[in-house]
Amino acid sequence: MSSPLKPTLYLVSSFAGAIILGTILLSLPWMHHDELALIDALFTATSAVCVTGLTVVDTASAFTLPGKVVIMILIQLGGLGVMTFYSMFFLLRGRRIPIEERLILRESFWGRRGGRLSSLILTILFYTMVVEFLVTLLLFPFLARYYSWPSALFHALFHAVSAFCNAGFSDLPGGLVPFARSYFFPLILMLAILAGNTGFPIVFEGVHRFRQKNRSWSLHFKLTLLIHLLLVLIGALIFLWLENGGALREFPAPLRVLQAVFLSVTPRTAGFSFVDIRYLSVPSLYFLLFLMLVGACPGSTGGGIKTTTFGVLAATVWSRLRGFSRTSVFGRTIPDSQVTKALTLVGLYLLVIFTAQFFLISLPPHRPFLNSGSEFLAHLFEVFSALGTVGLSTGITPHLSTPAKGVLILTMFTGRVGVLSLAMLLSGLPARSKTFYYAQEEVLLG
C-alpha cells in the first residue's frame, strides 16, 4: 500500500478497533440488564465511538453502571479521536509520535503547518478536561435536586462528556424531556455543545489573539464563526416561526426562545433534545436535515460536512454571481483546490446518503413512529442523523431490523472517519495532485 494511504488506514483502523473493543465489553453479562443482542451491543459501541447518539436500547435502563462507564469512555475516545490518546501515551513515555499519527492529528485538529504537536495535544486535553469539569460542576447541584448525590454526580459527568463530545447520549431515566421546562439545564448543555463543536483551531486562535493583540484574525476564523453564528440565529428564528403554534406552544415565551435556540444548536451535531422530535412539523424536520448536513466546525468533536465547507460553496456561488472567476470572501481568494475538495466532499456525502437511504427503505419494514409526514422522511431523517453523527431520531431506530441496523452502523462509521478518507482508502488511490490535465472540451449545462 502506498504511503499516502497509511494515515487514512491508521484513522479507520483506530476507530474500528475501539468499536470492536467496546462491543466486546458491552456484551459482557455484568455490563447490561437482561439480554443484549450482539447487534445491539455493536450498534451502541459504534454510536458511542462515532459520537452519534442513536440508540436501539434505552441507555438508562438497559445498561448497568459499569456499562454506562464504558459508553462514556467510548464517547470520550471517539470525540477527541483514538489517535489523540494513543499519541498522549507516546508523549508520557518520552517517545516521538509516529509520522502517521502526526499527520492524522494535524489534519483533524489543526489543518495547517507549524506549531509543536506535543503542545497541540496537551492543549486539546487540557481544554477538554477544563470544560467537562466545569460543566459537571454546574450540573451537579441541579441534578442533586432529583437524584442522590452519587447518582447526580455521575449523571452530571456523563452529560458533560456527552455534550462536549457532541454525542447526544443521556443516561437519565426518561431522557431530557422531563427537564424541558428548566432554563438552567438546556443552557449549560448548549454551552458545552458549542464548546465542543466550535472547533479547536478557533479556540487556539482566540487564545493566541488574546495574547498578541496586534495579530489579525485568519480567514478560517472569520468564515467559521460567521457561518456558525448565522446558522444558530437563523435556525432559532425558523423554529420559532414553524413551532410557535406546534411543539413549542406549551412553553412560556422566554423558554420558547431558549428551546428554539437549543433546537438550532443540537442538530450540529449534538443530538440532545428537550422536545420530542416526533412531534415537530414536517417543515421543521426538513430544516433539521439541512442543519445536520452542515454540522459542526472543522477540528471539532462534531460531524457533518462542516461549516467551512458550506461557507466555501456559498462563497463560490456568490462570487460567480458577482462575476468573479475565483472564489473570494473577506477580501481573500480561496484556492481552487479547496473549492474542488468542498464540492467532492458534498458529492460523496450525498452519494452515501442516498445509497444508505435506498438500502434502508429496501429492507423489511418496521413500525413507523411519526405522527406527521411519511415513513420515507423517517428513514431519510435517520440516515442524515447517522452520517452527520447527530443522534436525533424520529423514534424508529429501536424498531429497525438487524440488516437495517447494519446499514446505520456503516453510515455512522463513515460519518465519523470522514467520507473523503474512507473513499480514498477503499479506492486505494493516494490523494496526490496530478501534474497534467487533458484537453478542454465544453458540455451543455443547465
User: What are the tens digits of pLDDT across the range 258-301?
Assistant: 999 999 999 998 989 999 888 899 899 999 999 999 999 988 88
Instruction: Return d(Cα 183, Cα 172) in angstroms, integer.
Output: 18
State the pLDDT confidence band at 368, using cuts at 50, 70 and 90: very low
How much is the mean pLDDT over the chain? 85
Instruction: Say how many C-beta atoms besides its own lie within 10 A of residue 35's C-beta.
Output: 8
Check whether 318 has a pLDDT greater than 80: yes
pLDDT of residue 369: 45
Residue 329: strand pairing partners: 332
- Of residues 207 and 196, the one with the higher pLDDT is 196
In angstroms, rounded to a whole number, what is the distance separating the alpha carbons of residues 225 and 247?
29
Q: Which range among 48-62, 100-114, 228-242 shows the weakest confidence by mean pLDDT?
A: 100-114
The alpha carbon torsion through 199, 205, 207, 211 (nearest 10 deg) reads 180
DSSP string spanning 38-52? HHHHHHHHHHHHTT-
Name the residue with cell 497534467: 436
What cell numbers appear for 75 in the block? Answer: 464517547
Least confident among 27-31, 34-38, 98-102, 171-175: 98-102
Per-residue confidence (pLDDT) for residue 263, from 0 to 100: 95
Lowest pLDDT segment from 141-150, 332-341, 368-377: 368-377
Give per-residue pLDDT as tens, 51-64. Answer: 999 999 999 999 99
427, pLDDT greater than 60: no
| Alpha-carbon distance values, 385 to 304, 329, 337, 388 (Å) | 9, 30, 29, 5
* Count of CA atoms in the C-beta half-sphere (13 A) of 270: 26
Cα 65 to chain center, whole Å? 25
**What are 122-126's contacts with CB under 8 Å, separation 24+?**
122/91, 123/200, 123/204, 124/80, 124/84, 124/200, 125/80, 125/84, 125/88
* Number of Cβ within a 10 Å radius of residue 120: 20
pLDDT band with cut points at 50, 70 and 90 for residue 143? very high
Which helix (H) or strand (E) element contains residue 328? strand 328-329
pLDDT at 91: 57
What is the number of other CB atoms lying within 10 angstroms of the CB of residue 286? 15
Q: What pLDDT does 373 receive?
A: 44
Measuring CA to CA, which residue among 168, 174, 171 is closest to residue 393?
168
Q: What is the pTM of this model?
A: 0.89
CB 413 within 8 A of CB 46: yes
Residue 324 banded pLDDT, cuts 50, 70, 90: confident
Contact 409, 46 (CB under 8 A): yes
Alpha helices in 244-335 (DSSP H): 253-265, 282-294, 307-321
C-alpha distances out from residue 38 to 20, 25, 29, 402, Å: 11, 11, 12, 10
Cα angle 435, 439, 441; round to 5? 135
Q: Which helix (H) or strand (E) holds 332?
A: strand 332-333
Q: How many residues does the chain have?
A: 446
Q: Are 165 and 53 in contact (CB under 8 A)?
A: no
Q: How many other β-carbons are positioned within 10 Å of the β-carbon of residue 112?
A: 10
